[in-house]
Each structure stands twice: as structure tokens, then as C-alpha cells.
């Protein structure tokens, strides 16, 4: 297996990808707060429900990514972080796009599947120690 420290510049054992994913996670958590506020005060009906769900997943996964991004680089952990980030963006983005722009929610199930895969990859990484 390729040593993940060679995949990107490393600062204190944390890869560039990890740092960027952590920063993206923090931004997504902040966006989740904004989505929840808009769902509570500016949206109604199905749009409010979609925004609340998008906010919940953006915030929760954003916090997880912000914390995971700062951990030492390991290949499986980096894969988990990347899959979680893409899955959360597709899932929450699809629901928010449906609520705000009338987009279809067809990417939400794929994003949800990626989030589940990301958690399985993280569990495998943690079990390996």
C-alpha cells in the first residue's frame, strides 16, 4: 500500500488533503447552521423539511470532517474522509437544491450511500489501529 504521506505535502503528520477536507467540513457545518435557520424562518412545507434534513447532515458530517481532517494521514482514513465529503455534498446539496432551486433530488440516494460507505471505511481504519 502506498504511504499516504507521499500523496500530498504533510504538515505535522496531516496531509494537505486532510487539512483541506477539514476546512471544507468546517464550512459545511457553518452552512448547515445557515440552512437550518432558513428552514426555520424562511421556508415552508416540503422545502423546510428538505432544508432541515440537508442542514442536519451538513452540520453533523461537517463537524466530523473538521475533526477527522486534522488526524494523521493514513490511506484508508483519507479515503473515508473523501467519500464522506463527496457523499455529504451530494446528499445535502441535492436536498438544498430541491428546496431552493427546484432541482430534482436524484443525487440524494447516491450521496447517502457514499456517506454510509465512508463510515464503514472509517470503522475499518479505526479497527486496524
pLDDT tens digits, 88-113: 999 999 999 999 999 999 999 999 99
The whole-model pTM stands at 0.89
Task: Quote the CA–CA distance of 6 and 123 in Å, as a whole number.
Answer: 23
Task: Quote the CA–CA distance of 116 and 113 in Å, as a whole number.
Answer: 5
Q: Is residue 4 pLDDT above 90, yes or no? A: no
CA dihedral angle for residue 23, residue 73, residue 61, residue 103, rounded to 10 degrees: 70
pLDDT at 106: 97
The answer as to whether 45 is a domain residue is yes
The answer as to whether 7 is a domain residue is no
Each residue's pLDDT tens digit, 30-78 = 999 999 999 999 999 999 999 999 999 999 999 999 999 999 999 999 9
The answer as to whether 4 is a domain residue is no
Q: Is residue 1 pLDDT above 50, yes or no? A: no
More confident residue, 117 or 8: 117
Task: Quote the CA–CA distance of 102 and 115 in Å, as a whole number.
Answer: 23
Q: The domain containing residue 39 runs over which residues?
A: 16-128
The answer as to whether 11 is a domain residue is no
Q: How many domains does the chain have?
A: 1
The answer as to whether 78 is a domain residue is yes
The answer as to whether 2 is a domain residue is no
The answer as to whether 9 is a domain residue is no
pLDDT band at 13 (very low <50, low <70, confident <90, very high): confident
The answer as to whether 104 is a domain residue is yes
Q: Is residue 119 pLDDT above 80, yes or no? A: yes
Amino acid at each position: 500500500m502506498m504511504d499516504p504521506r507521499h500523496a500530498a505535502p504533510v504538515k505535522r503528520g496531516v496531509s494537505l488533503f486532510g487539512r483541506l477536507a477539514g476546512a471544507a467540513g468546517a464550512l459545511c457545518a457553518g452552512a448547515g447552521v445557515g440552512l437550518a435557520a432558513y428552514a426555520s424562518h424562511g421556508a415552508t412545507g416540503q422545502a423546510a423539511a428538505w432544508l432541515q434534513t440537508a442542514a442536519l447532515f451538513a452540520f453533523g458530517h461537517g463537524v466530523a470532517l473538521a475533526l477527522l481532517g486534522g488526524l494523521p494521514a493514513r490511506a484508508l482514513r483519507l479515503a473515508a474522509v473523501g467519500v464522506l465529503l463527496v457523499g455529504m455534498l451530494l446528499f445535502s446539496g441535492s436536498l438544498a437544491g430541491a428546496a431552493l432551486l427546484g432541482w430534482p433530488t436524484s443525487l440524494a440516494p447516491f450521496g447517502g450511500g457514499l456517506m454510509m460507505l465512508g463510515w464503514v471505511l472509517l470503522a475499518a481504519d479505526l479497527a486496524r489501529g
